[in-house]
Amino acid sequence: PKLQVMGLCASASAEGHDEGDATDVANYKILLLGSGGSGKSTICKQITLMYGSGFSKSETEIHTTVIRSNTIGYMQKLLEESERLSEEEEEGKDPSVYTIPEDLRPNMERVMSISRYSDTDHLTEEIAADIAKLWESAPIKAIFQRKGVTLDDNTAYFLDKVNVLGEKNYLASQDDILRNRTRTSGVTLTKFSFNSTPMTLVDVGGQRGERKKWARGIKGCTSVLFIAAISSYDQKIEEDLKTNRITEGLALFEDVCKLPQLEGKSIIVFFNKHDIFLEKIKTIPLTVCEDLKDYTGPPTDPDKAIAHIQEKFFARAGGREIISHVTCAVDSENVRKIFEGVMDKILEETLKGGGLI
């Protein structure tokens, strides 16, 4: 079927508003669910780019500032790890591999002296040069590659281009904005028009503290788009730094599938962060995750490993039929293709079921 995509898009925070309810059939509401960091906001950004006018000037400026200060934070975190590991005896490893050499100490001190909590934009060209130099150094590389450090997924993406970020007139590009982690709380609505049907993506935030807000989003939603980060099998959640992210995602998915309010509504799952997964599976086996311990396939075979993760999710669906795709949310072409296919399919089903007319 040909897809005629048109319309305008607005992204707004609707904290405190009850936007639409079950009687609002003209508005097709897709509820985004999934644990924190799985890629919900990134999907919203992609939809804004695809069906809207792109990121506004003020939005771009905010991202520019956030990216600059996050990037300083990434290096500070690596340097803190260096301090910690230099003092620790670890698995018979010589701690000096993590120690910043004398000649890089002034660079390190300048970067560490920046306050993480100030509003000023500290990423000057000089600081960017300091960070670039440290980023190239062997100890920082060793710490970055060491298992067990919790860093944002796109740390290397931003550190690789820190000199560009430090330029006086740097403005965040579309890709930079897609890669930038912005922690949002409250409900974010992304309105767009697909095939002449007005639609709203509802992002209620996924972290544990946000989940009480779900009830409001579930009311009147037409389908659920659940996002699970397949690459997160070796990571802990930010809320307690203990629970494995896949374990958390599975439990969450099971709860979502059981919600009586969602009976008869389609659930779509995006198995996201495929790009990171492909890199990770080369060195870290799936079995580091307690819930994936029973994987017996070839350790580094990405497709078999993904199929195993998918099976685990489907087993929690309570017999429901699930539409699913493997995605890379920062890749616009990938998201466009998959999203259009999915929308096409669920619109068709809704029409068949008489839900929209």
Ligand X SMILES: Nc1nc2c(ncn2[C@@H]2O[C@H](COP(=O)(O)OP(=O)(O)O)[C@@H](O)[C@H]2O)c(=O)[nH]1
Q: How far apart are CA 312 and CA 292, in angstroms?
A: 8
Among the listed ranges 75-83, 176-184, 241-249, 298-306, the one in contact with Mg ion (CB under 5 A) is: 176-184
In the list Mg ion, ligand X, none, the entry touching 276 (Cβ below 5 to 8 angstroms by class) is ligand X
| Cα angle, residue 316 at apex, residues 257 and 152 outer, rounded to 5° | 85
Q: Which two tokens stand for residue 341?
A: 């296919």
* Nearest CB to ligand X, comparing residues 188 and 266: 188
Among candidates 214, 188, 175, which has minimal Cα distance to 54? 175
Q: Are 188 and 14 within 8 A, CB to CB?
A: yes
Q: Is 41 in the site for Mg ion (CB under 5 A)?
A: yes
Q: Is the dihedral of CA 125, 130, 135, 136 positive or negative?
A: positive
Contact 319, 339 (CB under 8 A): no
Q: Which residues of 152-164 are buried (b: 16+ CB within 10 A; e: fewer)?
A: bbbbeebbebbee
190 binds Mg ion (CB under 5 A): no
Q: How far is the CB of 180 from ligand X (least distance, A)?
A: 6
Which C-beta is closer to ligand X: that of 29 or that of 40?
40
182 is in an annotated binding site: yes
Please compute, for residue 350, the number of CA atoms within 13 A of its CA located in the half-sphere on the CB side: 22
| CA–CA gap between residue 58 and residue 44 (Å, rounded) | 17
Nearer to ligand X by Cβ, of 2 and 212: the residue is: 212
State the residue number with the nearest CB to Mg ion. Answer: 41
To ligand X, the closest distance from the beta carbon of 146 in angstroms equals 20
Q: What is the dihedral of CA 327, 332, 192, 226, to 10 degrees?
A: 10
If the CB atoms of residues 36 and 139 are measured against ligand X, the closer one turns out to be 36
41 is in an annotated binding site: yes
Residues whose CB falls within 8 Å of the CB of residue 85, separated by 6 or more in sequence, listed in order:
95, 98, 143, 146
In the structure encoding, which two tokens stand for residue 348, read together? 């068709």
* Site stretch for Mg ion (CB under 5 A), options 32-40, 85-93, 220-228, 293-301: 32-40
Q: How far is the CB of 72 from Mg ion (least distance, A)?
A: 22
- From the list Mg ion, ligand X, none, partner contacted by residue 181 (C-beta under 5 to 8 A by kind): ligand X
Q: Which of 205, 195, 271 is nearest to 232 (CA)?
A: 271
CB of residue 186 to ligand X, shortest distance in Å: 12
Judged by the rule CB under 6 A, the positions of this chain that interact with ligand X are 34, 36-42, 152-154, 178-181, 206, 272-273, 275-276, 328-330
Q: Which of 294, 312, 305 is nearest to 250 (CA)?
A: 312
Nearer to ligand X, 74 or 295 (CB): 74
Is residue 206 a known part of a binding site?
A: yes
For ligand X, the closer of residues 21 and 175 by Cβ is 175
How many residues sit in the footprint of Mg ion (CB under 5 A)? 3
Kindly list the residues in this chain that would bind Mg ion in the complex (CB under 5 A): 40-41, 184
Residue numbers belonging to the annotated binding site: 41, 178-184, 203-207, 272-275, 329
* Feature table: binding site for GTP: 178-184, 203-207, 272-275, 329
- Binding-site sequence positions for Mg(2+): 41, 184
